[in-house]
A and B are shown apart, each in its own frame.
Chain A
Amino acid sequence: AQSVAQPEDQVNVAEGNPLTVKCTYSVSGNPYLFWYVQYPNRGLQFLLKYITGDNLVKGSYGFEAEFNKSQTSFHLKKPSALVSDSALYFCAVREPGGYNKLIFGAGTRLAVHP
């Protein structure tokens, strides 16, 4: 069965420092992987996705993520965090070739301190 793990409930980073939000997955076959961000009282906003090709994918707001098949990971990164990046981040996975059901991780709250 498909699953996604986000091992950290919260990540604290100082503004200007690099950030990493971790995600590991379990799915049969080659996965489709997504990152979404949720700001307070807002819906989920798409950040980036990995479908195939280059393992490093770039997305919105300066975020990027690296697909690592051997470690079954898809960590979200940003070279220099902003206070405005503080939000709830969700990793999601979908099996290719099937329907579009997304399986979400539990979410990681990112807190960027001035």
Chain B
Amino acid sequence: EPEVTQTPSHQVTQMGQEVILRCVPISNHLYFYWYRQILGQKVEFLVSFYNNEISEKSEIFDDQFSVERPDGSNFTLKIRSTKLEDSAMYFCASSIGLAGRGDEQFFGPGTRLTVL
């Protein structure tokens, strides 16, 4: 069964450093997302991406964040200068089609980011 994969599973970085979290969505999916879950808190939407551009982003997704689909398979989330409060589990997700169809999103296993 196809699945969303994410690397690395755990990333430790120093405050102020740049990190890139990687995701490989399901191959025939057209919509891609990033969510995060701070320990003990809700899963929060960060950004959605379609047709090589951001379709929606949350207030959390400020100028420190960027997303990219550098090739036909990878989808990345970059944090330019990490802060302590960026420590969280980051989930990538993908869905097959248009928003109006109510397609479910398939989530990866997550990358745990620890900022020291």
Residues of A near any B CB (own CB < 8 A)? 32, 34, 36, 41-46, 49, 51, 90, 92, 94, 96-107
Shortest C-beta distance, A3 to chain B (Å), equals 10
A94, B102: Cβ atoms closer than 8 Å: yes
Shortest C-beta distance, B97 to chain A (Å), equals 10
Closest to B91 in A: A43
A106, B108: Cβ atoms closer than 8 Å: no
B42, A105: Cβ atoms closer than 8 Å: yes
Chain B residues with CB under 8 Å of A34's CB are: 104
Residues of B near any A CB (own CB < 8 A)? 4, 6, 31, 33, 35, 41-45, 48, 55-56, 58, 91, 93, 95, 99-110
Shortest C-beta distance, B23 to chain A (Å), equals 11
Out of B55, B91, B99, name the residue touching A44 (CB < 8 Å): B91
B56, A101: Cβ atoms closer than 8 Å: yes
Which one of B103, B104, B106 has the greatest number of beta carbons of chain A within 10 Å?
Answer: B104
Given the interface pairs A99-B99, A100-B99, A107-B42, the reply to whether A44 lies near B48 with Cβ below 8 Å is: no
A100, B48: Cβ atoms closer than 8 Å: yes
B43, A104: Cβ atoms closer than 8 Å: yes
Out of B4, B48, B103, name the residue touching A101 (CB < 8 Å): B48
Q: Which 4 A-B pairs have the closest CB atoms?
A: A51-B102, A44-B107, A43-B107, A99-B56
Chain B residues with CB under 8 Å of A44's CB are: 43, 91, 93, 107
Chain B residues with CB under 8 Å of A105's CB are: 42
B99, A97: Cβ atoms closer than 8 Å: yes
Shortest C-beta distance, B65 to chain A (Å), equals 15
